Amino acid sequence: MKKITKVLTSLGVAALALTASCSQPNQSTAGENTSKADAAQIVLDNIMTRTSIRQFTSQPIAKDTLDMIVKAGMAAPTAMNKQPWAFVVVTEKEVLDSLGAVHPYSNLKTATAAIIVCGDMEKAATDFAREYWIQDCSAATENILLAAHALGIGAVWCGVYPNPKVMPEVKRVLSLPSWVIPLNIITMGYPEAASQPKDKWVPENVHYQKW
């Protein structure tokens, strides 16, 4: 609880610093510069320390917390600002178990919640741009993973689309309408143990100006 309060306080500092930087772009003081640097470091630390978590304690996640996490998902960028998504929040054990039964790698055994990020084809763009829903919903997913991590909650992205066997089963379990496609199941809960993030920095993967 102490850790969450600390993180929330830190996020508050980040939000305040960002507000200050937006409203007064040319009037920063030494104090503001320091808090801006602190805020940036908090955000970067959150990105660099996120890692997939697959084992959870039995502590439930409060509805307010889940709503805040979904709100972070909806803050993601989308092509032409279409926001072609829908989010199914599951906390009932029976539904979690049914999802676990149709997705062999969903790690739902000890999970206390799951968010299923879905593409809504009635909101998606047309022609070739329809496929942007995948990127839009992936951006929302990463926001959700980072928000969960900031709040001390463990999570793992479990792919559903484009698996031809798992997709229809997830649709059936959740009673999704025909125009809604489940992209993934984000399995969630409070972490059973601390996990070490992977170091994925490979300088050779970066090309400057041209390949």
Ligand X SMILES: Cc1cc2nc3c(=O)[nH]c(=O)nc-3n(C[C@H](O)[C@H](O)[C@H](O)COP(=O)(O)O)c2cc1C
Binding flag, residue 152, ligand X (CB under 6 A): no
Instruction: Quickly count: other Cβ atoms within 10 Å of residue 55's Cβ.
Output: 15
Return the amino acid letter for 55.
Answer: Q
Q: Which one of the spans 51-59, 79-87, 128-136, 170-178 is the region binding ligand X (CB under 6 A)?
A: 51-59
Site membership for ligand X, residue 52 (CB under 6 A): yes
Size of residue set near ligand X by CB under 6 A: 10
DSSP 139-177: HHHHHHHHHHHHTT-EEEEEE-TT-TTHHHHHHHHHT--
User: Binding residue for ligand X (CB under 6 A) from 13, 18, 105, 125?
Assistant: 105
Are 81 and 49 contacting, i.e. CB atoms less than 8 angstroms apart? no
Cα angle, residue 94 at apex, residues 176 and 109 outer, rounded to 5°: 105
Which pair of tokens denotes residue 192? 């059973």
Nearer to ligand X, 38 or 142 (CB): 142
> Least separation, in Å, of the C-beta of 187 and ligand X?
8
> Which C-beta is closer to ligand X: that of 36 or that of 50?
50
Q: Which residues bind ligand X (CB under 6 A)?
A: 51-52, 54, 105, 107, 156-159, 198
